[in-house]
Amino acid sequence: MQLSVIGCGYLGAVHAAAMASLGHQVVGIDVDEAKIAMLSAGQPPFHEPGFEEILKAGLASGNLTFSTDYTAVESADVHFVGVGTPQRRDGGGADLTYVDAAIDGLVPHAKAGSLIAGKSTVPVGTAARLADIVAPHGIRLAWNPEFLREGFAVKDTVDPDRLVYGVSRETGDEDVATLDAVYSSILERETPRLVTDYATAELVKVAANSFLATKISFINAMAEIAEVTGADVTQLADAIGHDVRIGRKFLNAGAGFGGGCLPKDIRAFVARAEELGKGESVGFLKEVDEINLRRRQHVVDIVVNSFDGQPFGHRVAVLGLAFKPDSDDIRDSPALDVAVRLKGLGAEVVSYDPQAMETARRVHPQLDYAESLDAALAGAEAVVIVTEWKQFRALDPIETAEKVARPVVFDGRNILDPAAWRDAGWTYTGMGR
């Protein structure tokens, strides 16, 4: 099929290349000329495992092209909208500027009978509003939320847990048939497919992210209690996680969640529910947000306390900047926040991240970025792990002790073996253990 994908960020660029890998003819559109130039040259603008391979393969096969010009969408049967919906500057709600601009860009060029399939995370009610805008032009609209995780974006796109189609009351059957044709090779594997109305599809996405955020904040709340009682939150998570109704996934206590989705999605959900007069229904998400933000401050506090409240001039190695491993994304990253706050308190912070140093440097040029993990560790009076990269998990406590000035470690992601580190002479502090 002929497809267009509007917006070439983490979601759109991966979706475009993944659809090309399934055999479709795809054009990716973005207003950012530099990004389009990079993608057209086969250079990923962000770190995402497996993306470079499918990008290059798509370009080489001729199935995948990129453009800044909306006229390139004219022959497409389906237009995916994968632009960002960041948090508004004036509150918690979602900023729909880019979604509205994508629709404005598409309407003059999308052929009659084509389908716009929204993938961006939007406040409930958005799809119905947009459908009214495009219908007079003979263009159909569906909402087809995306659940991809960074670090697994390619896999999650070509082999998703489920497909959700929010379709129109009027043209629903045709919308379903069109999306089924796009995803035919995924559906052959009996991937669950749910057909809903617009509102349900929009809510599925924010409900899923709210649930995940709640699960993380729940275990972090338990970590707070564990910290004052001497209990171990990791063992607690293991024990409750054996109950299949609870499950062990997303019960890792630590510095909390960040990224381009969970924090802004729960805030946008609260804002939208308040607009709908149902703020109390999701009021608990404010608490989820607060617990989450407290965890980064907790990491800062315990580091500062280890210097008797006087971190000024003390060298601290902050290991991690990305909001999660296998990503160079620093949006709302607890790790970067910890580095910035410690630096703000006068500590001599040296940061290291295997992938996110360039993205971090653009936003925080004032931080010191080490050339290597060893350079970050050299002479450190405290080591703070805030992103669970494999390299940090694999650190040897005996060898690492020889590199630092003071063997004090704060395991902000609970990835080290406390006994092994203590045996090697370290003062080990985990999160809630």
Q: Which residues are catalytic, by number?
A: 261
Q: Compute the radius of gyration of the chain from its Cα atoms.
A: 23
Residue 258 in the binding site for ligand UDX (CB under 6 A):
yes
C-alpha closest to that of 378 among 348, 354, 357: 348
Residue 216 in the binding site for ligand UDX (CB under 6 A):
yes
Please pick, from the candidates 40, 147, 302, 346, the single residue that binds ligand UDX as defined by CB under 6 A. Answer: 147
Residue 155 in the binding site for ligand UDX (CB under 6 A):
no
Please pick, from the candidates 168, 209, 355, 400, the single residue that binds ligand UDX as defined by CB under 6 A. Answer: 209
Q: Which two tokens stand for residue 361?
A: 């440097």
Residue 217 in the binding site for ligand UDX (CB under 6 A):
no
136-144, 147-155, 182-190, 301-309 -> range binding ligand UDX (CB under 6 A): 147-155
Residue 259 in the binding site for ligand UDX (CB under 6 A):
yes
Nearer to ligand UDX, 18 or 76 (CB): 18
109-117, 141-149, 351-359, 391-399 -> range binding ligand UDX (CB under 6 A): 141-149
Residue 82 in the binding site for ligand UDX (CB under 6 A):
no
Nearer to ligand UDX, 198 or 218 (CB): 218
Nearer to ligand UDX, 47 or 324 (CB): 324
Q: Decide the pairing of beta strands 115-118 and 25-29.
A: unpaired
Residue 256 in the binding site for ligand UDX (CB under 6 A):
yes
Residues 235-254 that bind ligand UDX (CB under 6 A): 250-252, 254
Nearer to ligand UDX, 114 or 120 (CB): 120
Mark residues 166-205: x for contact with ligand UDX by CB under 6 A, - for none.
Answer: ----------------------------------------
Q: At what angle do helices 233-241 and 198-229 cross, to 10 degrees?
A: 130
Nearer to ligand UDX, 63 or 292 (CB): 292
Nearer to ligand UDX, 63 or 209 (CB): 209
CB of 270 to ligand UDX, least distance (A): 17
CB of 9 to ligand UDX, least distance (A): 12
Are 27 and 7 within 8 A, CB to CB? Answer: no
Nearer to ligand UDX, 166 or 311 (CB): 166
Instruction: Round to whole Å and give the CA distance between 380 and 45.
Output: 33
Residue 47 in the binding site for ligand UDX (CB under 6 A):
no
Mark residues 284-323: x for contact with ligand UDX by CB under 6 A, - for none.
Answer: ---------------------------------------x
Instruction: Round to whole Å and give the CA distance between 135 and 116.
Output: 11
Residue 84 in the binding site for ligand UDX (CB under 6 A):
no
Please pick, from the candidates 59, 179, 261, 300, the single residue that binds ligand UDX as defined by CB under 6 A. Answer: 261
Residues 3-22 that bind ligand UDX (CB under 6 A): none
CB of 149 to ligand UDX, least distance (A): 4
What residues make contact with ligand UDX under the rule CB under 6 A? Answer: 147-150, 209, 212, 216, 250-252, 254, 256-259, 261-262, 323-324
